[in-house]
Structure 1
């Protein structure tokens, strides 16, 4: 039987199935796969991940009901994003306790659970606490065995993805890209599937994408009074949308790890001459970044607040 050709009409399902298979690899269905610390950059199964949270993920079969238990994290940020095979997200779980997931709610036979818990990677004690919280996450049900990945044609899927990534370049936000079928814009949803699979809807996390193909040089981004109720972060990616090794070993800065300026604002420095520079992110040809605003305030969602742009030095 020939492989299934992929085009824009079935790309969302094909890409989601591929991501499901990657997330289930080595653990199977109904089992958590925990990231216990910020790991090697050689392991980036999803495009444009963050390094501000520790991820946990699971792929579950929801043809029979599944119960998820969420830990009480106090004031620490946590979200459990439930994603269907059509890359729609029917619900975000935040409240501690048990939550029942059904096929009727999800809309497809299988669902991905993508958990983000805020962590200070520079504090071993904080990492240990997040690991403890990860262990409180439980799944009752969800199936066993491997995720049944259909035989999609890799060549046409890659070709379609690359074309969508080219179209997505220059779009500055992911508004309307992620959420329920009723919440998303169909075109933005398709482009977001290629460029930011698994992203959260803007009311949970607003993503400001900066990808203007600026040349390698020295730049600064000044952030002051960022209107969020959780936290903000700046993540630096290469042209393909992935983190890249650099001499500083730093790929993101967030409101927990940043060194503030004397006036309380934060200056992020992009460049190549960064010895001794605070909040430095080394750049490369094709560099781009995402400013993430977790639980943004209304002035972000209504467009009153505009994200600052980098300035050349």
Structure 2
């Protein structure tokens, strides 16, 4: 200290360094804090984060988790839907009436698992975990106890599906037997976001699907759009695909579990038909009609292989619009004046996965 005090130059350097340190500390202390949303009502805020394309999958997953946590009554609890999805209750775009749903936000930070009960043979019963950054993991099927783990954050959202052949009474009984085993029960919370930027980015990403289809083709894209960090599909991961998938179909499944086909938009008048061979999926296929915005507009605007009547030669003809006596008729008229369809292959067959058999290209106008 004596040498320092005797050196005017050193003293000036010391004081300058101390000033810089104080400035940095003050800047850090005055840095605006991130607004935390502990419930869905706090998620959108003018003081929240500006959503970018890169952050959108996390933002949408966080929104879904907060919404589910509220409806379920807390963390590690299920929101059970013992009725098929109604047109008035659609939490995301391109919902369907193929299955009864249960959802839960689960704290996996100290270990967690789900136990599923027995169901009759041949009935569809699946459990799908989705991570905070919208990386769906492979589905588990049927009775058993399944461990849960995530590569990001401390929570996951789990989606249970039971096929539409169950009665509401049967579904309620089975749903009550699904057990969550979790060693921690911290509530999920997330950064609040600015609403305008959220929906602006969402619309941009929805439009991006056309570019991706042009780049890869609809068949290839339908097998690589969703990917998991925990299995062989990790090689399919591309940020723009994950972002687009979260916007057009949050909670979608890996190709080995479900393959999706979505048509272009068509005028919602006239008559359209598609005749196709049974793809012979492990579980079933379905066709759902949507309006311009991607929402169901009629509780009858869908069919599946459980309900559709085959032709005498074993093929199926689905009629969209058309006269009331047309085979397997689905209505298409809606206020938007536009319709599109999504075909879902549950447990897709080898012909669908590896040979690229698709139904949407068979849709034709019957003018």
TM-score for both structures, normalised by structure 1: 0.89
Residue 270 (structure 1) aligned with residue 315 (structure 2): no
What per-residue deviation string (whole Å, max 9, x for no partner) do you get for residues 115-160 of structure 1?
A: 111122xxxx733223322222110227557531421111101000
Q: 1:158 to 1:53 in 2, by over 3 A?
A: same
Please report how far the alpha carbon of residue 185 of structure 1 lies from its aligned counterpart in structure 2 after TM superposition. Answer: 3.2
Alignment match, 2:167: 126
Residue 147 (structure 1) aligned with residue 188 (structure 2): yes
Alignment match, 1:90: 137
Query: Does structure 2 retain, via aligned residues, the 8 Å contact 1:274–1:282?
Result: no
Please report how far the alpha carbon of residue 302 of structure 1 lies from its aligned counterpart in structure 2 after TM superposition. Answer: 1.7
Alignment match, 1:45: 91
Count of equivalent residues: 303
Please report how far the alpha carbon of residue 241 of structure 1 lies from its aligned counterpart in structure 2 after TM superposition. Answer: 1.1
Q: 1:97 to 1:56 in 2, by over 3 A?
A: same
Residue 113 (structure 1) aligned with residue 158 (structure 2): yes
Matches for 1:206-285 after TM superposition, within 5 Å: 206-214=259-267, 216-245=269-298, 249-271=299-321, 273-283=322-332, 284=334, 285=337
SS at match of 2:193: coil
SS at match of 1:25: helix
Alignment match, 1:55: 101
Q: 1:306 to 1:98 in 2, by over 3 A?
A: closer
Residue 16 (structure 1) aligned with residue 61 (structure 2): yes
Matches for 1:179-194 after TM superposition, within 5 Å: 179-181=227-229, 182-186=234-238, 187-194=240-247
* Greater C-alpha Rg: 2
Alignment match, 2:209: 168
Please report how far the alpha carbon of residue 214 of structure 1 lies from its aligned counterpart in structure 2 after TM superposition. Answer: 4.7
Instruction: Write the distance in 2 (CA, Å) between the matches of 1:146 and 1:211.
Output: 41
Instruction: Write the distance in 2 (CA, Å) between the matches of 1:49 and 1:169.
Output: 20
- RMSD after superposition: 2.1
SS at match of 2:319: strand
Please report how far the alpha carbon of residue 44 of structure 1 lies from its aligned counterpart in structure 2 after TM superposition. Answer: 0.7
Query: Does structure 2 retain, via aligned residues, the 8 Å contact 1:23–1:45?
Result: no
SS at match of 1:88: coil
Q: 1:65 to 1:192 in 2, by over 3 A?
A: same
- Deviation >4 Å, runs of 4+: 142-146
TM-score for both structures, normalised by structure 2: 0.77
* Unpaired runs of at least 5, structure 2: 1-34, 36-46
Please report how far the alpha carbon of residue 222 of structure 1 lies from its aligned counterpart in structure 2 after TM superposition. Answer: 1.2
